[in-house]
Amino acid sequence: MPTKTNPLKLNKLQLKTLTIFQQLAKAPETSSRNEKNEVLLTNMPNTHGNHFQCGDALILAKDATGLRNQSVWKALERKGLARSMFPFGLTLTEEGERYLTGLNDKILHRADY
């Protein structure tokens, strides 16, 4: 049986933000791993006009409003997906890294070539 998308019932903003955190976790310029194999995110990107680049994906600013939202960080922490050190950084847990948001194809825009 396939894994259910969004079993923790995250809201739309939390899902978008977690999707972006998962993408940031793949980029060495925004993340590092700790001894528990969790990802530490300390370098949140700034937008360039209406978007920013993260690894192989382009992300629209309108989808990234939760990146600097303390309430979103706390909600992800309550669900066990992250540990917040707002505003300095966030640790994405292994559960947070694996969580299926269902939004990768919707907010992570990649070139077709």
Identity of the amino acid at 91: T
φ, ψ of residue 84 to 5 degrees: the values are -85, 140
State the number of CA atoms in the 13 A half-sphere of 12 facing the CB.
5
**pLDDT tens per residue, range 42-96:** 988 888 899 999 888 999 999 999 999 999 999 999 999 999 999 999 999 999 9
Residue 26: how many other CB atoms lie within 10 Å: 14
**pLDDT tens per residue, range 26-44:** 999 899 999 988 999 998 8
Q: Indicate the length of the chain as a whole number.
A: 113
**Average pLDDT, rounded, for the chain:** 93
Dihedral sign from CA coordinates of 81, 84, 87, 90? negative
For 12-107, which CATH class? mainly alpha
Q: What is the mean pLDDT of residues 107-113?
A: 82
52/7 Cα distance (integer angstroms)? 29
Could you state, in order of their start, the residue ranges of all structural domains in the chain? 12-107
